[in-house]
Amino acid sequence: MKKVVSIIISVFMIAAMFAGCGSKGDATFTAVGVQNIKNSSSINCNGALSNELSEAFKKTGNTLTVVEIDGDPYPVGKNITAEYDVGSSSDNKASRNKMYTQMAVKTVNNDATPKTAEIDMLKALTVLSRSVNSLAHGSEKATKRIVVCANLLSTTGKINFVDSTLYFDTENYIEYLGKELPDMNDISVTWIVTGTEGGEQENLNNSDISKLEDFYRTLIEKAGGNVKFIEENNGGEGEIDKSGWPDVSAVNVRKDSYKGSKNLDVTLDDTTLFKSDSTEWLNEEKATAKLESLVDVINDSECNIIIAGSTAATDSSEEQHVTFSKKRADTVMDKLISLGADASKLKAVGIGKSYSRYRVKDTGEFNTEENHKQNRVVFIVSEDTDKAQYFLEVAEKFPNINKDMAHISFTNVCRIYANSPKK
């Protein structure tokens, strides 16, 4: 009898040891979406993606699945689950982690190929969410992750940038998507942003990338998740023969794509604007060309246009930041007026370094030049948008700097421009 009891106890002890090393209850489940398609850079499996794959296999029970992102996204191959022996040395665990990572890389490189034309990014996020939620089903303590390795474009489905321009109102677009947003509750997303080299697709500039990242950030947060974006050094090893792959339509990123719009939402980045710590144009010819493309849109608009200056965070006071950003916004407004824009429709304000979803964090651990650059911008937005309303709310906190606010109101209703998605 004692022997039987001893055996039972031993079994329970072994089970407990395995549980402590990583049961489903506290495992991490990862769904990786990769975009091996025309019009996108080759996936670099030696960069950020490799790091994310390695992180996915840290302990026993962690499971990873791969999804190919095309016009009809689909799961690729079999799930990969990490298994580490109890008491394994760190060297042994590192060796097995490398093995699991290589298995995932092989799936990405060899098995994830497009079957359907175009890119349906909303469906991709839905498939990824369903995959990771299914893996984690029944476990309240599980960690749920999605890794997206793709450019930011979508060419079919509910998110279709081919049928519109990139200069849409984010809040209106998310409202349009409505109940079709995926269930991303408690899912953390890491988006490795690849380039658009290939096919007929023009490269996205910094302003386009910032705009699209803001769009997907809003979408994912609305769906219950959170996201961080990583700028990847594009290009995998060697050239991939994409000749047999289905086509992907090109998205219009030309500067004249503003024309025909009735609702402006434009971000002028630091490559267009000013020299460091100055209101002097960095490249006045380039800035003039960009602003000139907006004049007709402004004059045809049924509402006022808010020009909001933003600055990178420094040790200077909030008032100093607002004053400086207001001067930059004034410079942009003066240039627009000189090019023929209706001055009565324009209002320049400074928002300084006030943090919002329209900026990136650039203080503390986020104090990097790359983050600072993303905040050295000037926004040009139609007054009848949530973004404009937010900028005006911030501006009103500094009445001595942002004077003459009274004539700006929201009594005019701007029509959503012709290329906006329709319900």
- Write out the two tokens for 343: 């001055």
Q: Which residues are CB-contacts of 325 (< 8 A; sequence separation ≥ 6)?
A: 308, 309, 310, 311, 350, 351, 352
Nearest to 35 by CA among 194, 249, 253, 206: 194
In whole angstroms, how far apart are CA 371 and each of 320, 361, 366, 377? 20, 7, 7, 11
The domain spans of the chain are: 24-231, 255-395
The confidence score (pLDDT) of residue 367 equals: 79
For residues 216 and 40, the model is more confident at: 216
Under CATH, domain 255-395 is a member of which superfamily? OmpA-like domain (3.30.1330.60)
Per-residue pLDDT, averaged over 299-319, amounts to: 85
pLDDT digits (tens, 9 = 90+) for 196-239: 766 678 877 766 787 888 899 999 999 999 999 987 655 554 55
Q: What is the pTM of this model?
A: 0.59
The confidence score (pLDDT) of residue 24 equals: 53
Asked if residues 255 and 264 have their Cβ atoms less than 8 Å apart, the reply is: no
Tokens 């012709």 belong to which residue?
A: 418
In this chain, the answer to whether the domains covering 24-231 and 255-395 adopt an identical fold is: no
Asked if residues 59 and 84 have their Cβ atoms less than 8 Å apart, the reply is: yes
The confidence score (pLDDT) of residue 223 equals: 96
The confidence score (pLDDT) of residue 76 equals: 94
CATH topology classification for 24-231: Rossmann fold (3.40.50)
Cα–Cα distance measured from residue 361 to residue 346, given in angstroms and rounded to the nearest whole number:
28
Cα–Cα distance measured from residue 292 to residue 338, given in angstroms and rounded to the nearest whole number:
10
Cα–Cα distance measured from residue 152 to residue 33, given in angstroms and rounded to the nearest whole number:
13
Nearest to 375 by CA among 354, 396, 397, 398: 354
**Phi and psi dihedrals of 164, rounded to 5?**
-135, -170
Task: Pick from 25-39, 69-83, 232-246, 407-421 the range whose average pLDDT is largest.
Answer: 69-83
pLDDT digits (tens, 9 = 90+) for 363-410: 777 778 777 777 888 989 888 777 788 888 888 888 888 876 544 443
Dihedral sign computed on CA atoms, order 168, 174, 178, 182: positive
Percent of the chain predicted with pLDDT > 70: 80
Instruction: Say yes or no to pLDDT of 21 above 80.
Output: no
